[in-house]
Chain A
Amino acid sequence: MLSRTGSSLYWLGRYIERADFFARLIEATVRLDVMSSRPAGEVAWSSALAVTDTEADYVAHGGALTQSEVVHFLTLDTGHPGSVIRCLDRARNNAKAVRTALSREAWTAINRAWLVFERRNQVGDTTQTLNLVEAVKNETRGFEGAVHQMLRNQSHWFIRLGQAVERADNTARLLDVKYHILLPAGETVGGIVDRDQWTTILQTVSAVTAYRWLYSDGLTPANVIDLLIASRELPRSLVASAEITVDILGLLAERTGSHGEADRMARMRAARLGKTRSGEVIASGLHQYLQAFIRENGQLHEAIGRQFRFGV
């Protein structure tokens, strides 16, 4: 496989995953803002910006912290590189550049996700916003299904690798930001929680029902943190993402006949996460832990690029 193809497929996986994450985050935030007993308003939308790491961009862009403005910024704003439409645009450009590596269904799913936004220039009211993110989610889910149907070859694994790296990053950010909003300095985990906020987190990782299955003692912050960091059952947890990354790198190594620095880093990380107890993490500082994880994930991303010669 061409190095350029590997790189494009990997980025394609990252961008589709990111678009999907944004869509789910917006959906959960709308719910938090509108459907909870006490509208969360500005706090909800500023936290959505914080999770997507776009606060500074938004300030520069000069919008108010209202649903319609933030949603527009995060979805339809072509001037903002982090918007869903720009993610899909990049995903589609990468897909176009490597069309031969994709199945017809996979390409069509990406193209359809992109067509959702054609001729959309406003988000409209709450219902229309929800319809928009629902449409994005449908197409990204269609893409994931199409990827699942693909031949289990290098193309498939590179897309999945990008997806896994992006997923780990997104979950860590979500948890980090929400945790700080929810627990102002001096509060301890397990105190009075805002149920709606914690539900928002679960919704964003599509785990509301999963939580009920796994934890029988109601909604507690410690359990939510445990689920998102250390639960192997939840595909979007840090440990699950770390383990799938190891597996995919192993499958790629089988094909290319060489292991490298990325394999070693990924294996060390997964082994460490496998032993992690969320209680200890909370006691020793969740924020520091998550920041370190995000940094390490970034280093792994760079190691992958070196190992497969993406940069040449």
Chain B
Amino acid sequence: MGKRPAFDEIMGMTGDVPPRPALAALGKWLEDTPDDELRRRQEAAENTFRQLGITFAVYGDADTRERIIPFDIVPRVFLADEWARLSEGLVQRVEAINAFLDDIYGERRILTEGVLPADLILGNPQFRPEIAGMRPPHGIWAHICGIDLVRTGPDEFFVLEDNARTPSGVSYMLENREAMVRLCPELFREYRVEPVDSYPDRLLETMKSVAPRGRGGQPVCVVLTPGHFNSAYYEHSFLADSMGIELVEAADLVVDDDKVWMRTIAGRVQVDVIYRRVDDDYLDPLVFRPDSMLGVPGLIAAYAAGNVAIINAPGNGIADDKAIYSYMPEIVRFYSGGEAKLPNVETWRCREPQALQYVLDNLDQVVVKLVDGSGGYGMLVGPTASRQEIEDFRRALIAEPHRYIAQPTLALSTVPTLADTGLSPRHVDFRPFVLTGSKGVQVVPGGLTRVALKEGSLVVNSSQGGGTKDSFVLMADGQRQTQTQSIGGMTQSQGFGV
């Protein structure tokens, strides 16, 4: 464990008894089920993931063998009332993100009213002037958001970052649940868990709801992938498959007469809605990077003409930017008229001289991040960094302060995790998925829990060796009352992963 006492989401602050009676049965299950049995089930799950090819490739990794993300058998649990409060905060935040994007690519009231410094937006590499003035169908920009949260206490949740571009991880949410239902059915007999498997249907509904008007009939929806060498390809194919729509690559699409068509064995078919898992930079070589082989020439012109919906809309990167993140409380207040229900983590903007000085004086205490970084790359975790790393960051900060923000090192909550030595607390974060269609905003009751597998580590990113857990959201009457037998027994799970 780290130096600071952390809140454990099952065992509580002290580690003696579960703080929440609601989780007593889970605590008992952990106690009663031998580690060997947990390990056997965990290996069965990982074997299945390997056979299904639920793998990802780490860029720049010398070992190009496909890897699975380690899976941990101990679930993370949200009580119904915790979830209800969290959902309210998520809906408010995502509504604000959509309003913000609609504003800065339109009227820019938030700049004219002086809430944000104009250069922060207009000089930001994530701002896409090419998109300014275009409005997506139904005025929705961020149809699928993954909001990364951390927790420091029973009711203390903080937003760590917003992902409004192409958040990934939803396939793990669904596959992890599939594995848990098969391997630990006794937990689902004990607790009433909100199902997550309606996600693909909800996503397809969301896509159809934002189709351009006036095409009549059933809108043609597709998932656009960079191709099967992309690290998240499994997820792209999984989503297309579970929605029953085509998974296309750029070469399968052609723009003609400002309309998007896909090439089929029987000729061309017009496309109405594209869930793209290709970054803006690569989306259309005529507008963005001209050297892109992953994009569709003319796609943005078709979008501007209102003939196709692109999910998520081009230009959203500005909402993910960590310099913008530090203003999110003001942004939420500006568009929703109320205080943000989900607080930010306190953030020093290194572009501001005072903040920079504070960060330089406390490098061994803070976490420093690139404003446009992702996946845990280009990060300094002060308390666990070497002297050399700290000095390297000091030089980088002084050279280009505007590229960095810093945050205090939080005492992230932990969840018991099956380590080599047995069950042991490990730090977690959480990514719930929020869908916005023309009929409103909805939060899927679950999400992706990422866990740092190294003792004391705060870095949960899969590219840095983190793992995942299932995330239970309990129904209001979460525990069944009719228990006749203990759940800690040796339930045989048959036929899984053999």
Contacts and interface: CB of A to CB of B under 8 A. Distances in A.
Interface stretch (A22-30, A96-104, A220-228): A96-104
Contacts of A107: 52-53
A1 B227 contact: no
Interface residues of A, number: 25
Contact of B237 (A2, A100, A256, A309): A100
A154 B267 CA distance: 15
B255 to A, nearest CB: 15
Main secondary structure of the interface of A (DSSP, over half): helix
Interface residues of B, number: 24
Contacts of A66: none
Contacts of B247: 98-100
Which of A2, A5, A104, A308 has the most chain B CB atoms closer than 10 A to its own CB? Answer: A2
Interface in B234-291: 234, 237-238, 240-241, 246-249, 251-252, 262-267
B53 A93 contact: no
A111 B52 contact: yes
A257 B266 CA distance: 8
Given A93-B228, A97-B228, A100-B241, A2 B52 contact: no
Contacts of A96: 53, 228, 233, 237
Contacts of B240: 100
A86 interface: no
B265 A1 contact: yes
A31 interface: no
Contacts, number: 61
A111 B262 contact: no
Interface string A110-146: 0110010000000000000000000000000000000
A258 interface: yes
B385 to A, nearest CB: 37
A108 B51 contact: yes
Contact of B51 (A5, A111, A312): A111
A256 B267 CA distance: 9
B227 A108 contact: no
Contact of A100 (B51, B52, B246, B262): B246
A6 B237 contact: no
B241 A3 contact: no
A206 B3 CA distance: 68
Contacts of B265: 1-3, 6, 154, 256, 308-309
B52 A1 contact: no
A4 B249 contact: yes
B266 A258 contact: yes
A253 B25 CA distance: 59
Nearest to A103: B241
Contacts of A308: 265
A4 B263 CA distance: 8
A2 B248 contact: yes
A282 B111 CA distance: 88
Contact of B252 (A2, A99, A115): A2
Nearest to A8: B228
Interface string A87-101: 000000100111110
Which of A1, A98, A104 has the most chain B CB atoms closer than 10 A to its own CB? Answer: A1
Given A4-B252, A99-B228, 14 more contacts: A1-B266, A2-B252, A2-B263, A2-B264, A3-B265, A5-B246, A6-B265, A96-B53, A97-B228, A98-B247, A99-B238, A112-B51, A256-B266, A308-B265
29 contacts: A1-B246, A1-B264, A1-B266, A2-B252, A2-B265, A3-B252, A3-B264, A4-B249, A5-B246, A6-B265, A93-B228, A99-B234, A99-B237, A99-B238, A99-B241, A99-B247, A100-B241, A104-B52, A107-B52, A107-B53, A108-B52, A111-B52, A154-B265, A256-B265, A256-B266, A257-B266, A258-B266, A308-B265, A309-B263
| The 5 nearest A-B residue pairs measured at CB | A99-B237, A96-B228, A256-B266, A100-B241, A308-B265
